[in-house]
A and B are shown apart, each in its own frame.
Chain A
Amino acid sequence: MNEQLARRQFLKQLAAASTAAMMASEPRLLRAAEDAAITHPEPTADACILIWMAGGMAAPDNFDPKHYEPFQVGLPVEKVVSTFPAIDTAVDNIKIAEGLEGIASVMDRATLVRSHVLPDLGHILHSRHQYHWHTGYVPPQTVACPHIGAWIARVLGPRNPVMPAFINIGQRLEGVGENEEIKAFTTAGFFGSEFGPMNLPYPEEAAAAVRPPKGMEPGRFENRYKFFRKLVDKSPQRDYLSDYHQESMLRSLENAYRLLGSKERAAFDISLEPKESYEKYDTGRFGQGCLLARRLVENGARFVEVTTEYIPFIHWDTHKDGHTTVDRLHKEIDRPITQLILDLEARGLLDRTLVVVASEFSRDMILEGVPGSNAQDQATFKVDTLQEMTHYGLHRHFTGGSSVLMFGGGTKKGFLYGETAPERPCLAIKDPVNVDDLHATMFTAMGISPQTAFDVERRPFYATEDGKGRSVSALFG
């Protein structure tokens, strides 16, 4: 089925569903006025992969290297801005941190934004910033805000009707710290769960999420469904077969059955990947997640998020021992991200797939928030001079300038945008891009107007806050 056709079918189905939604006073797409319908931009991307560096990836140790001082006992901390030396990339005017050699080699396919700015929310909490970054709204809000993936799912629908439109890879929602806070934005919010994420915390177990229940062989699964259908057909409630409520319920069950029996199901099974290719990705759960994301996008996924996973004080959330931790993380992310880009390119998918690598804020060795912030300093160790290796790293939350790396989906190739100050405080000093504008840029690439609004409780609710996000057009071309 070609995409246009699939989309038309989906919209037809949706029409039935939205009839129902109207009755239940669920959100309704708004138009400014009859003669001023929202015009969506022409999309430059059909799919989006968000690679989420959860916990605050320090720009100076990754995509925006500054003055480097190697570890040395007695070194005053103010001398250190980066803890990794800079290396050359495939683009002349772009250097990034040592340890990211793979990504350096594909920088000629990338647009690098070094001037992403985040708000200082007074007390810098990861989960609040992540909520803001993923929904475009600073919590708390009076309504449950949808995740950016849910917006895309809501407005565009799936690319392939059997493939869930919004898939979230790598984040556990149970058993990790702040899990309630993470759940609060890992949701379609007021759009309702039809547009919410399919959560696949363990890439290796993703196949099970679309497989018949454990221990049920395909034949039995099929028989069970056939028997169910017979019961429906013989139901004494046949009068209700035309009922929209009943119809939509049966359609959803049918969709689920189709996905669980479809060939696309294989996309979820990363063990089917040829060994050589699998190993290129396999740096652990994150690397496997990138592989899964590629397989899903190849099979028609619309929006996929892959995260290094947010767990307080783990991974990018370096409150101590930052350098050593980031060194390990480089090894985890460099190969899979590089391979993802190369694979998408080799399959001819990169041009129409927007890949975004981002994080909720940057980090600094000394500054919490931005200069003058009243945010409480949350570093575990506070030293003026380095005494041991655990002191060496960027242990404060810095919101004044972070990096976003983008590939494909119509973005420029080998392009650098924005700049942070060369010395501390490394604030964005050129072309700042806030979350609204970054979201507007992503929405625009996907063919969604940043002014798209839905009626919630009789108030307009916009894709970017108050509809004010502006796409950074300089990034495209």
Chain B
Amino acid sequence: MRRIVLYEGFERFWHWAQALIILTMMLTGFEVRGVGWHLFGFQRAVALHNILAVTLLVLIVFAIFWHFTTGEWRQYIPTRKFLREMIAFYVTGIFKGAPHPVRKHRMAKLNPLQRLAYFGFKVLIIPVQVTSGALYYYYPNLQHSLGWPPATLWVIAVVHVLGAFGLVAFLIGHVYLTTTGHTPLTNIKAMLTGWEELEDDAYFDET
């Protein structure tokens, strides 16, 4: 076993900042939708939601820059290799104490399911939310200049809300799966400190 920095400083900052922003956007977003809580007050919730949307966009721009300059974007390329095994692991193996079918190493820290999930998150859920959110925000201007029918706003809102529900479901699954590491807190600790213990062979295979 060997301890290495699996998640670099920016990566951790990006992850937790994004988590905080998205969580607050969930709270404010569902507040203005009127699901029942009143944490910020409507007007402040709307203002905060919009400010956070811009903040998230800025963060995403930096993250994209980081991913491309470091080459880390390759970590998210979906693969079918070991996909079947991973599914089998979560469906049955995990209950029997079977070993994790994919070993982490520095250049492949995500298993095929993670790759799929995070790839989907990045190219589907986030773009849908950003786009529908921007259309929502600028709807009065667009409706005015493009002459959109009133039903357009309904469609935009429904897409945005369904995306938000999807994000909540994603968050639940995501948080649960962090507990499937060596111990329930192993993965979260790694995401906080960056350090993770990898098995030697995995490390040396790569080097």
Q: Is chain B a partner of chain A in the same complex?
A: no
